[in-house]
Structure 1
Amino acid sequence: MEFAKKKFGQNFITDRNLIKKIISILDPEPNQLVIEIGPGRGALTKELVQNFKKVVAIEIDKDMEALLKTEINSDNFELITQDVLQVNLKELISSEYKKISLISNTPYYITSEIIFRAFDLAKDLDKAVFMVQKEVAQRICAKQNENNYNNLSVAAQFYSDVKYELTVSKNMFRPVPKVDSAVITLTFKNQNLIKVNDDKEFIAFVRKLFNNKRKTILNNLSSVLGDKTKSLTILEDLKIATNLRPENISLEDFIKIYKEVQNEN
């Protein structure tokens, strides 16, 4: 086995049952484009190629190129040897497929960047399946009033239906990482996109409101707007208690606050 490279955060899946479970989480529609980020040695990729019409794998490690092309000699497989953050994912998407999915055994060091890239494709993707650190998975799936509910939780709920699928023992990988992982799914929906005039601006606004989780929503909003009186008026008009913290605010209320701020400007 080629050595996993620490700089790329490589931990290869070795458990066959886990691979089967991940495949079963994807929509079974065979006429599907699956974009895989970080195929590694191709254990999951081989199964994807057998089940779906087209698989495009993006791998940063050039040393894996020969291995993957040798192991997976199939017309419906395409390998892009490049840093995923440098790839225009939108250009890979085509209307010829009934479903478009993204799947990634996500390197820990770029987890947030990859997830936000998926949000950028919300209008084009049907589903994303991510294997991430368990703690990150819990944060993404956290609900209002839970301690680990944050701006990433709100963003995930804004773009998709989020589901914590399963916990994955660290012993199912080689080399064995320090922590357990989890598989989560994001099933994309567009009903929230029409509620705001700029989804990226909305997500950036929510991130600012979480700048200091210990402060109240009134204090955080006042910091963003630079005007406590105006912030107080907005929250009172929306009947949102000023002493709540960001973790107590629902997605719907964040949308209301954002829209009210837009109307005021």
Structure 2
Amino acid sequence: MDYAKKKFGQNFISDKNLINKIINILDQEQDHLIIEIGPGRGALTKELCKRFKKVVAIEIDTDLEVLLKSEINESNFELIMEDVLNVDLKKLIESNSCKKVSLISNTPYYITSEIIFRTLDVSKFLDKAIFMVQKEVALRICAKANENNYNNLSVAAQFYSEVNYEFTVNKNMFRPIPKVDSAIISLKFHQAYLNQIKDDKAFVAFVRKLFNNKRKTILNNLSTTINTKQRATEILALTKIENNKRPENLSIEDFINIYKETKNGNN
């Protein structure tokens, strides 16, 4: 029976070699909570249960509930039937005492950004996250300053973590076969930049606004964001950033410096 549903962006994997290759990216500490978003038919989930202390899978598709519960009988497995965007990930992590916590997701295209931003919100509680996403999205998340596909998601992911493009997954590895190739990326979380910012969520929201119109210069975007061109000009002068640069030309350090100056102006 084909359980995949287009409305949930479902494409399932079953190749054992691919599954092991994905799991091997994780730290192999056995005392480990793994949160899996979108377990599908459970092929990856079964292998995770063999290696780690606790596996919590979050699945939105109620038609998969009976299948998953019948296929996976391990005592270290928990299934949450819910839209992941409605799940309190912090509370879930705190209710399971494990030495390490990682997240893994075969991410539906239509909510990729939302899932990643929700993961970044709880990054201080996580060791690592692994996402399977469309290849173009993976390239965007891993993009650096001055690359065309560099955007606010690139900045946010790299603010919280060391991002790695692990490998490409050919579309023929999935059932049903999607239209494009996918890729595996990993996010190894750190607090290097967090120590420079008092409110990281406010910083990420600020960066998102600066990317609202990528065609405009950083001066125009910053002026719109803080509602004053004069102050925006002053901030860019203080941070030694040229007015005619665009958001995709700025490094994470540049965004941090701009944000800090906007806060200084409010003190």
The normalised TM-score by structure 2 is: 0.97
Instruction: Extract unaligned runs of 5+ from structure 1.
Output: none
Q: How does 1:101-140 map to 2 (within 5 A)?
A: 101-140=102-141
Q: How does 1:229-240 map to 2 (within 5 A)?
A: 229-240=230-241
Q: Distance in 2 between matches of 1:87 and 1:223?
A: 34
Q: Distance in 2 between matches of 1:139 and 1:78?
A: 33
Q: Residue type matched to 1:138 in 2?
A: L
Q: Distance in 2 between matches of 1:233 and 1:106?
A: 42
Is 2:177 the partner of 1:176? yes
> Greater shift after overlay, 34-43 or 227-236?
227-236
Q: 1:248: which partner in 2?
A: 249
Q: 1:74: which partner in 2?
A: 74
Q: 2:7: which partner in 1?
A: 7
**Partner deviation per Cα, 1:180-234 (whole Å, 9 max, x = no partner):** 1000001111121121121111111111111111111111111112222211111
Moved over 6 A (4+): none
Q: 1:45: which partner in 2?
A: 45
Q: CA deviation at 1:114?
A: 0.6
Q: Distance in 2 between matches of 1:256 and 1:202?
A: 11
Aligned-CA RMSD value: 1.0
The normalised TM-score by structure 1 is: 0.97
Q: 1:24: which partner in 2?
A: 24
- 8 Å CA contact 2:14, 2:44 repeated in 1: no
Q: CA deviation at 1:2?
A: 3.3
Q: Distance in 1 between matches of 2:118 and 2:235?
A: 32
Q: Distance in 2 between matches of 1:7 and 1:38?
A: 13
Q: Distance in 2 between matches of 1:172 and 1:14?
A: 8
Q: Distance in 1 between matches of 2:253 and 2:193?
A: 9
> Greater shift after overlay, 176-185 or 2-11?
2-11
> Greater shift after overlay, 127-136 or 62-71?
62-71
Q: Distance in 1 between matches of 2:114 and 2:244?
A: 32
Q: Residue type matched to 1:142 in 2?
A: A
Q: 1:58: which partner in 2?
A: 58
Q: How many residues align?
A: 265
